[in-house]
A and B are shown apart, each in its own frame.
Chain A
Amino acid sequence: MPIDPQFEHGFIEALFEAADIGLGLVDTDLRYVRVNDALAAMNGVPAADHEGRSVREVIPALADLADRVLRGVIETNQPVVDLELSGPTPADPGSDRHFLVSYYPVCDDGSVIGVGAVVVDVTEGVLARRDLEKQAREIYEDVVQDLTIVQLAHETGNVAKASEAALRALAAAKRIASKVLLDGDSIRA
């Protein structure tokens, strides 16, 4: 059943404005045609101020990689999905933000006329994972030391030292396992 064009247009407009992920459209000169409020907030520039400005003007710290990938999408008419972009934006110029970005070619009559962008801010997750990895690394180093003591003490018959070190190593292993379970995250080896 064909969809009423007015209904379809209204639906897309509502989705574009209401989405809490960043949505945007750039032309083949890599100038913003339109962005939604979510992407405007991520970039730290009002939505209206994006229009006609280049990606490089709006988010200069991310533009080197973004421009290269956007040009690739335009030239190949192939999407790029889940690209990781990191760097400061006018919304947060003092620290790096981390985004997961997908670019899709927008075509008219078979020719690419622009690129649509879907942007998710994954900064909190990245920072949490890094913090967990740092803690895991520190605990791992302690566990390695204690396991060395267990091994050496065991071989030399020093049961007391071996037991003490084994208990410490197990306690450390329990700490990191608890963190992983409670934070619902995983630690890369």
Chain B
Amino acid sequence: MPRSVLIADDVADIRLIISLVLADEEDFVVVGEAGTGLEALEKTRELGPDVILLDLNMPQRNGLDVLPDLRTSAPHAKIVVFSGFQEASLGARALELGADDYIEKGTSVDEIVARIRTLTT
């Protein structure tokens, strides 16, 4: 059964491209998108995704701010933080707040998919 994925990023083109990439993978299905931290939380509560791909730099509650609530709302989901801020401390902080992995933007699509797959198997 494919893993359901919620993509939370304020940049529509990034959501679109990742959706297209995951659409080609039989073991994933994108069930929703969110452009703000607040929307990510609402969609998580509504859809109960298996995977949440979460950007840190979002309006209306940034990724680090909304992470603990996402973790509480979806205790079994795998939360993968996907961020452009190239600071190791943010990755460490995200993991402390409940993320399962931290991927820097610039990572290849193949590796993004591979790391999500590793987390969900």
Contact = CB atoms under 8 A, between A and B. Distances in A.
Interface of A: 141, 144-145, 147-149, 151-153, 155-156, 158, 161, 164-165
B90 interface: no
Give the interface size bracket for B toward A: 10 to 19
6 contacts: A144-B84, A148-B84, A152-B14, A152-B109, A153-B17, A158-B20
Contacts of B17: 149, 152-153, 156, 158, 161
Nearest to A155: B109
B58 to A, nearest CB: 11
Interface centre among B17, B18, B110 (most CB of A within 10 A): B17
B21 A145 contact: no
B9 to A, nearest CB: 9
B116 to A, nearest CB: 14
Contacts of B57: 141
B18 A152 contact: yes
Q: Is the interface of B mostly helix, strand, loop or mixed?
A: helix
A148 B14 contact: yes
Contacts of A165: 13
Nearest to B106: A151
A187 to B, nearest CB: 17
Contacts of B110: 155
Contacts of B85: 144
Nearest to B55: A145
A167 to B, nearest CB: 13
A152 B20 CA distance: 10
A164 B108 CA distance: 19
Contacts of A141: 57, 84
Contact of A149 (B11, B20, B21, B108): B11
Given A152-B109, A155-B108, A156-B109, A145 B84 contact: yes
Contacts of A164: 13
A168 to B, nearest CB: 10
A144 B105 contact: yes
Contacts of A147: 105-106
Contacts of A156: 17, 20-21, 109
Nearest to A144: B84
